[in-house]
């Protein structure tokens, strides 16, 4: 009898959720804590973050840190340097995941990977969201134009040099959409700050 045989039901539950389950999800679905413990011991599942498991028979995600954040903080949106890296318009290597949350929401508990949260108003939080489907989860990230505007808005936090580089690489690597970029500069209230740089580059 294979190691999986006693846990066929549990394995099917994992498969039904793209191969990933949080501990809380598994318990709600009727998986006993002892079953999770034994499945982990038998290497049928493996942790990718505290309280988050992946079915070992499926390929690991290409970006495990982003997968962990997307699965454990589904209400969050990749922003700032993490969004720049996702869109390949920065030379920065993010050592933590930047996640936007709606202002007033509770700070999620996540021990790993390291996360920096940014709280945005309803209008700025909901604008410019793009959703990319990965196997077992969705990645929500701000579009390049919203991301560049956000970087200027939070330039004191991430550095003006990072924001300027993002604008230059946006022009070089993407198909610039000045009218959309302008919309987000106004929404983020950085039109006056960005205007000279936009006039020079776009």
| Annotated domain spans of the chain | 5-55, 64-201
Q: Which two tokens stand for residue 76?
A: 């969050």
- Cα dist from 158 to 64, 65, 185, whole Å: 23, 20, 17
Checking if the pLDDT of 202 tops 70, the result is no
User: Given 3.30.460, 3.20.20, 2.40.360, 3.30.70, which CATH number is that of 64-201?
Assistant: 3.30.460
Q: Which of 53, 61, 56 is nearest to 29 (CA)?
A: 53
Tell me what the mean pLDDT of segment 19-24 comes to.
82
- Residue bearing tokens 């340097």: 81
By mean pLDDT, which of 6-15, 86-95, 169-178, 181-190 is the weakest?
Answer: 6-15
Checking if the pLDDT of 1 tops 70, the result is no
Other CB atoms within 10 Å distance of the CB of residue 124: 22
- Cα dist from 133 to 18, 136, 138, 139, whole Å: 11, 8, 5, 6
The string of pLDDT tens digits covering residues 103-161 is 999 888 877 788 999 999 999 999 999 999 877 788 999 999 999 999 999 999 999 99
Question: Whole-model pTM?
Answer: 0.76
Tell me what the mean pLDDT of segment 4-11 comes to.
82
């Amino acid at each position: 009898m294979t190691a999986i045989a006693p846990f066929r039901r549990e394995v099917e539950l994992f498969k039904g959720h793209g191969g990933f389950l949080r501990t809380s999800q598994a318990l709600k679905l009727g998986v006993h804590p002892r079953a999770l413990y034994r499945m982990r011991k038998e290497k049928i599942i493996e942790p990718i973050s505290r309280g988050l498991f992946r079915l070992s028979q499926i390929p690991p995600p290409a970006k495990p840190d982003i997968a962990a954040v997307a699965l454990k903080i589904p209400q969050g949106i990749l922003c700032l340097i993490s969004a720049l890296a996702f869109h390949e318009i920065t030379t920065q290597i993010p050592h933590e995941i930047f996640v936007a949350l709606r202002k007033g929401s509770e700070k999620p508990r996540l021990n790993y990977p390291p996360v920096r949260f940014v709280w945005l108003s309803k209008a700025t939080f909901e604008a410019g969201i793009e959703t990319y489907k990965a196997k077992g989860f969705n990645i929500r990230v701000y579009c390049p134009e919203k991301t560049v505007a956000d970087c200027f808005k939070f330039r004191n936090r991430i550095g003006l040099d990072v924001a300027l580089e993002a604008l230059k690489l946006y022009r070089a690597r993407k198909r610039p959409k000045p009218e959309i970029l302008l919309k987000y500069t106004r929404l983020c209230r950085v039109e006056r700050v960005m205007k000279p740089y936009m006039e020079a580059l776009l």
